[in-house]
Structure 1
């Protein structure tokens, strides 16, 4: 039986995909129908022409390097006599009949040698898979996915915004309740005999910054004496306000029966040890004796009271300072000190919101307070309190509550 003769020229033309034959000089020897159709070229225009005459690089696109990469691949095949598979390439192809107009195409080329009897390369088979539509479809899919993702992100952003709005409303409500509780527990001090005291309370700005500052003035048993105190609970919001109320009430009761401020703070520290949220709370308590013109004081981690003498000298009562309430597992006796005063002096107690500022040493705030008090020492107590707050607190409001109480001695 005689084997049928195979028409390889017809086979070449029928091959699926783009296939072209190049001479070692990179001149077109032939191209199949798919190559001609997909490249938009005619056989008579291609045969005998150099590859790069038919498919030059786009001179208007500096990043266009597909043709240069192809030349490098073809040169490797000529040098090695081995097949070379290229990565996916982007080509800017000049559109036939439209001078200066280029079309972006994506081809996946494979270049293989045809060897002669002596082993030299006599032809180059340049086979190309046209994947432009696949790439464009993927880009469209990616764009669709991006649009879906953008829509989802927008939806999530709207949900987060709604949650934030709810939180702000809840925090605002908590602030209102905490302020109401503070107002109820911190009334204006009652007249203490012939002695007058004024108080000022400035809540922190922002719904999250209602704190637990307190003040108190109580009559003491035995002689012309009063107890004056301020304190500060660490934390914010309704919980801090509730803890503040408990500590203030406890200190008021302890002050009435204690022999001195140190003993009262010692009792308060033991009580704070069993109150949730009282950790690291601070307080300072002064006993003012108008009969012998003395002030006895003790501090549990609180800024020192300021005694403004009639001559303008400001004395900070800092000789009896101990750690904050509940700072030690086993509370012990606290220190106590005494100083004298003359009629016309002013005692000022305050919380740290008045003097502390971020990235500033506390001594700077104390100096600022002392200067303001000395300057306005002769003013009426109400004017003195208002002026000090105006000069020391930021115009935009403080981030911590501020309590101040002033007593004319």
Structure 2
């Protein structure tokens, strides 16, 4: 055989692997199983390949406490949802004697499940590797043999209890995530509250409770043809962050309607945040857009800068009035504000850090990536532009922080 990698028969390698290995589709159907897997499981290839995992190996119906199927299903779901390897605790998973239907054999397994990712970053297959440890659990040798078996059984029992507890916690977290998302939808405006052309997007983070820290707001301001546009970010996630987010958004919305400018609106919000538990280090940026004078006045409390895309493709970073986060000072002081001008057809983008921040990457890289995307798609309508930016900037599997984006055509 040639030494070139392209000449390697990987199908033969898979069949020759010394351990029990099977390949599962995302629907948990056997795509393949190596010879050792079939031998140890006591099954023929046609009894396994192409069939649903738990049709081939169901739980023992004679054992009310059987949990092997449930535990394995939970592990496989974790791999499919996270794209990460999952090693399971020792499992008792009885299998039916193929030679004697209705007769179940007590078996112990040590499974590990690992993803095979496609070019799109999604899980295409799951490698299901199993180590048979039944004889080890049953072994009795020497004067301490019985005690060793008791200890093994005790460890196995504790492992099962711990795994069941983890599964209950995962289900509880999933319920909290659903509640948090519902709360998020109720407190954020479902569509723009202004008469101007705008598109808003919110994308929850990937993970059980990584939602509900970000918010946005759009309001028509009194006095002329003016619009207030804001975004903010609360530190933390889950139900508590959702509650704080709702309070800060409502407070800034009300303050913006009566404030002389964005700096004064953030002054009021900072004083309010000082007495709200959970608002520590929250950030926000607000812009007052005067559509008659073609000016944007803005102020930022520790938040990434808005970006103004001019009709000629030039991108202006509105970073001239940046101040610490809302509750950063014991005694709030007046915040700065700055102004800039725009021409008809320009585009304003406000966003939260989930859009531009990536681990192990300088934030300037993310800001440059956003500016390039906005400039290239500046001719699109706001809805199409918002979708294009999210598609280009968010990771294929979703970000680890939630993301809010507001696009306004001026």
Interval containing the TM-score (normalised by the shorter chain): 0.5 to 0.7
Residue 402 of structure 2 corresponds to: 401
Q: Show CA shifts across 1:350-391 (max 9, x none).
A: 000000000000000000000000000001111100010000
Q: How many equivalent residue pairs? A: 271
Q: Show CA shifts across 1:199-245 (max 9, x none).
A: 01100111121131000001111000010000000001000000000
What is the CA–CA distance in structure 1 between the aligned matches of 2:210 and 2:193, rounded to whole Å? 31
**Contact in 2 for aligned 1:214/1:244 (Cα 8 Å):** yes
Q: Show CA shifts across 1:137-176 (max 9, x none).
A: x962433332222211111111111111111111111110
Alignment of 1:209-248 (within 5 A): 209-248=210-249
**TM-score for the superposition, normalised by structure 1:** 0.65
What is the CA–CA distance in structure 2 between the aligned matches of 1:213 and 1:261, rounded to whole Å? 19
CA-CA distance at 1:396 after TM superposition: 0.7
Change (3 A) 1:334 1:344: same
Residue 194 of structure 2 corresponds to: 192
Moved over 2 A (4+): 138-146, 187-193
What is the CA–CA distance in structure 2 between the aligned matches of 1:245 and 1:143, rounded to whole Å? 62
Q: Show CA shifts across 1:248-282 (max 9, x none).
A: 00000110111110111011011001100000100
Residue 315 of structure 1 corresponds to: 316
**TM-score for the superposition, normalised by structure 2:** 0.65
Residue 263 of structure 2 corresponds to: 262
Residue 391 of structure 2 corresponds to: 390
Please tell me whether residue 206 in structure 1 is matched to residue 207 in structure 2: yes
CA-CA distance at 1:191 after TM superposition: 5.4
Q: Show CA shifts across 1:309-367 (max 9, x none).
A: 10001111001011111011111111100000000000000000000000000000000
What is the CA–CA distance in structure 1 between the aligned matches of 2:157 and 2:343, rounded to whole Å? 69
- SS of the residue 2:313 aligns to: coil
What is the CA–CA distance in structure 2 between the aligned matches of 1:390 and 1:142, rounded to whole Å? 62
Stretches of structure 1 that go unaligned for 5 or more consecutive residues are 1-137
Alignment of 1:40-55 (within 5 A): none
Max radius of gyration: which structure? 1
What is the CA–CA distance in structure 2 between the aligned matches of 1:351 and 1:151, rounded to whole Å? 51
What is the CA–CA distance in structure 2 between the aligned matches of 1:186 and 1:335, rounded to whole Å? 27
Q: Show CA shifts across 1:90-138 (max 9, x none).
A: xxxxxxxxxxxxxxxxxxxxxxxxxxxxxxxxxxxxxxxxxxxxxxxx9
CA RMSD of aligned residues (A): 1.2
What is the CA–CA distance in structure 1 between the aligned matches of 2:267 and 2:155, rounded to whole Å? 56
- SS of the residue 1:140 aligns to: coil
**Contact in 2 for aligned 1:211/1:400 (Cα 8 Å):** no
**Contact in 2 for aligned 1:189/1:217 (Cα 8 Å):** no
Stretches of structure 2 that go unaligned for 5 or more consecutive residues are 1-139
